[in-house]
Structure 1
Amino acid sequence: MLKIILAGWLGLMLTSSIALADNAHYKIVTGPERGTYIQIGADLAKWVAEPVGIDLEVMPSKGSAENVQRMRFEPGVKLALVQSDVYQAYVDMANAGNADAGQAIRPLRLIMPLYDEEINFVVRADSPIKTINEIKDKNISVGLLGSGTAQSANTIYHLMFGQPIADQNAQHLSNEDALAALIVKKIDVAVIVVGQPAKLFTDMNPELLQQLRLLRVDPNAPESARAKQTYFPATIHTASYPNWLKEDVPTFTVKAFLVTYDYGLRDTVVNLDRFAESLCTNFDNLQEHGHPKWKQVKMELPSLGKGWQYYAPVEKHLRACVARREAGMTTAAPAQTADKAPVKSNCTDEARVLMLCK
């Protein structure tokens, strides 16, 4: 009788656990509503989460730095999209002794690298500026505080010119507001980090779009060589914007990563394992039916730099997936009690961009 009771109890617990897993409701934080990140998030929700019973809500955001903060402190956020230079900036600040940065980044884990995002330097069509190394001391929109664009714009400017953008020259505008400000001549340059083709440009009024132009990298400029210390050469193709570009435009790029938290709670681990298996199973669907950027994504887990770690349970599944493909085969955080945001102190320009200051 005791065995029968225990068997029934275990069966009930297993059924409840499966039901809980099947009804999982998670969030992924992405980026602006007309950017690439939010489309990548929607693809993951449709082609990866949905087939295994995970309701993945796609949340817009300012961008990568805000995503790190929300991944760390907002209940229900289990996944985030983060630029590599933003992630590295948190790691560097944590290693330098910034406790707030350490608290934000150290529990985060990578699922896998995704694709490269192009850094677009936009000017008016009649601007005398032709190349990226000519933007020194110009009035520049660097993106909203908390966005990956702000981190990239500030980092690449500092690399090129050996100094930060002067406060009076830095405007923290959204992508849409930055393009509008360009057209009415309130700023000289708008820096926009987005994967091509971006709805920001493809959905734009054609007449307004013709009033804008992209700056090119001058491969012979010493400023370009310094930018390559962190960023890689890339090309914005005419095929991405056939109604705008007359020729390909050389620029720089930054890598996007899919990020999670170092979860230990069983139900969350189980759900993320299922997510990983579905990512493997449906990877070809993502590349065929998702945003064109998925065609650049490889099912691989390259070695990581110091301070970067993969999420171990998912890593195991994805490495097995990688091996199969190479062989020709194809809940809440531990209590996820929304940690209290850290007390803000010692505010610097970099800390402000990473949302470590008020």
Structure 2
Amino acid sequence: MKHFRWTLCVLLIGWTSAFAQVDYKIVTASERGTYIQIGRDLAKWVGQPAKINLEALPSNGSAENVQRLRFEPGVKLALVQSDVYQAFVDQAAAGNVTAGKLISPLRVMLPLYDEEIYFVTRADSPLTYIHELRDKKINVGPVGSGTALSATTLYRLMFSTPLPEANASYLSNEEALRKLIDDKTLDVVVIVAGQPAKLFSDMAPEARQYIKLLRRDDKAPETERAESTYFPATIHSKSYPAWMAEDVPTLSVRAFLVTYNYDTQATQNNLKRFAESLCANFDNLQSQGHPKWQEVQLKTPPLGKGWKYYAPVEKTLQSCVAQRGRPAQAAAPVPVTKSCNQQEKLLGLCRM
């Protein structure tokens, strides 16, 4: 009997230690953006049930997130825009060794949702459409942010030339909006955020006296060129009823949950347990998390060239989909973007 109790005790201790709380971090974006809310949802509804203490960290955005995921201790997950991820892949394919070292060991855990791109200008601006951006003073967001990469890539796609450095600024969203309204040294502020975004939700009804959003014109050839990489989208007035009177057609970029290609058994087990918790608590995310979770599906569709899933998590999620009775469906590959010197700067490659 004593031997039985001793054996049981050893087994219980082993089981408890196998599922001991672990501390992980996820890098997101600004405090008033959508990414950090998604990160906090993952911490609450997925991390806690899996005994993973997941801390959602603010950042400048996707390009910085790639580097922090690679090098910052404790960072095991990152939220990354599709065009930023693809830009690193393109730079690596073009022979940039630093880009290759950064991106080659990263792996996709799950495609998430599309993020809307907001082109903000003054209410009294003569500008109406996105394709009227040429030669304008544009704030693209901080260096290292996904917004900066998206804004400059869009400009290059639409006008077949890089955004002139003399016309670009790299301020935070809040700083840029102040300059747009107060001293009028900017013409347009580009912001990437899934709706509803806190930055815009916090705006009072009086905001419509000061700002408006530029619209997508599907008849413009510039729009067709932009849609080789980005996706049509709509910013809905119901997302910001305090100051938006009507829906505004725009463009969007896809968000991905990304990790590293960990080969240690303990980390693999923890991330598999995270994926199991994601599956088990997915309904909670969709019903109680940020509204963007309602656009997410537990699927692992084919990825673009140079992209790979994290195999242990991919198998777990595919099993989850099968158990839920919703077989995975193929999706279009992530489009490929061309590289340029301005991209290298915004990806942080020329500073390393």
So what's the TM-score if we normalise by structure 2? 0.91
Percent identity of equivalent pairs = 61
Report the CA distance between 1:208 and its aligned residue.
3.8
Q: Which residue of 1 aligns with 2:336?
A: none
The 8 Å contact of residues 208 and 244 in structure 2, kept in 1 or not, is answered as no
Give the secondary structure class of the aligned counterpart of 2:111: strand
Distance 2:78 2:164 in 1: 31
Distance 1:302 1:287 in 2: 20
The 8 Å contact of residues 204 and 243 in structure 2, kept in 1 or not, is answered as no
Verify: 1:160 aligned to 2:153, yes or no: no
**Residues 151 and 315 of structure 1: is their aligned pair in 2 closer, same or farther, counting only changes over 3 Å?**
same
Report the CA distance between 1:248 and its aligned residue.
0.7
The 8 Å contact of residues 21 and 270 in structure 1, kept in 2 or not, is answered as no
**Which of 141, 144, 147 is matched with 1:143 structurally?**
141
Give the secondary structure class of the aligned counterpart of 1:300: coil
Q: Which residue of 1 aligns with 2:226?
A: 227
Report the CA distance between 1:327 and its aligned residue.
5.5
Verify: 1:353 aligned to 2:346, yes or no: yes
Q: How many residues end up aligned between the 2 structures? A: 336
Q: Which residue of 2 aligns with 1:193?
A: 192
Verify: 1:254 aligned to 2:247, yes or no: no
Question: In terms of mean alpha carbon deviation, does 19-28 or 295-304 score higher?
Answer: 19-28
Give the secondary structure class of the aligned counterpart of 2:31: coil
Q: Which residue of 1 aligns with 2:30?
A: 32
The 8 Å contact of residues 30 and 67 in structure 1, kept in 2 or not, is answered as yes
Distance 1:175 1:12 in 2: 55
Report the CA distance between 1:45 and its aligned residue.
0.1
Distance 2:341 2:221 in 1: 28
The 8 Å contact of residues 116 and 195 in structure 1, kept in 2 or not, is answered as yes
**Residues 70 and 297 of structure 1: is their aligned pair in 2 closer, same or farther, counting only changes over 3 Å?**
same
Q: Which amino acid aligns with 2:283?
A: D
Give the secondary structure class of the aligned counterpart of 2:49: helix
**Contiguous gaps of at least 5 residues in structure 1:** 329-346
Distance 1:27 1:9 in 2: 36
Give the secondary structure class of the aligned counterpart of 2:55: strand
Report the CA distance between 1:21 and its aligned residue.
4.0
Verify: 1:98 aligned to 2:108, yes or no: no
Q: Which residue of 2 aligns with 1:340?
A: none
So what's the TM-score if we normalise by structure 1? 0.90
Report the CA distance between 1:31 and its aligned residue.
0.4
**Residues 260 and 243 of structure 1: is their aligned pair in 2 closer, same or farther, counting only changes over 3 Å?**
same
Verify: 1:289 aligned to 2:282, yes or no: no
**Which of 52, 58, 61 is matched with 1:60 structurally?**
58
**Contiguous gaps of at least 5 residues in structure 2:** 328-339
Map Cα deviations across residues 294-336 of structure 1 (whole Å, 9 max, x no partner): 00111111101111000000111000011111269xxxxxxxx
The 8 Å contact of residues 203 and 243 in structure 2, kept in 1 or not, is answered as no
Q: Which amino acid aligns with 2:272?
A: D
**Residues 352 and 287 of structure 1: is their aligned pair in 2 closer, same or farther, counting only changes over 3 Å?**
same
Give the secondary structure class of the aligned counterpart of 1:52: coil
What is the RMSD computed on CA atoms of the aligned residues? Answer: 2.1
The 8 Å contact of residues 182 and 190 in structure 1, kept in 2 or not, is answered as yes
Map Cα deviations across residues 100-151 of structure 1 (whole Å, 9 max, x no partner): 0000000000001000000110000000000000010000000100000001
Q: Map 1:1-358 to 2 at 5 A.
A: 15=13, 18-19=16-17, 21-184=19-182, 185-208=184-207, 210-326=209-325, 348-358=341-351
Report the CA distance between 1:10 and its aligned residue.
12
**Residues 239 and 18 of structure 1: is their aligned pair in 2 closer, same or farther, counting only changes over 3 Å?**
same
The 8 Å contact of residues 21 and 267 in structure 1, kept in 2 or not, is answered as no
Q: Which residue of 2 aligns with 1:341?
A: none
Q: Which amino acid aligns with 1:91?
A: V
Map Cα deviations across residues 217-243 of structure 1 (whole Å, 9 max, x no partner): 111111111101101100000110111
Map Cα deviations across residues 239-280 of structure 1 (whole Å, 9 max, x no partner): 101111111100001000000000011111111011000000
Question: In terms of mean alpha carbon deviation, does 19-28 or 219-228 score higher?
Answer: 19-28
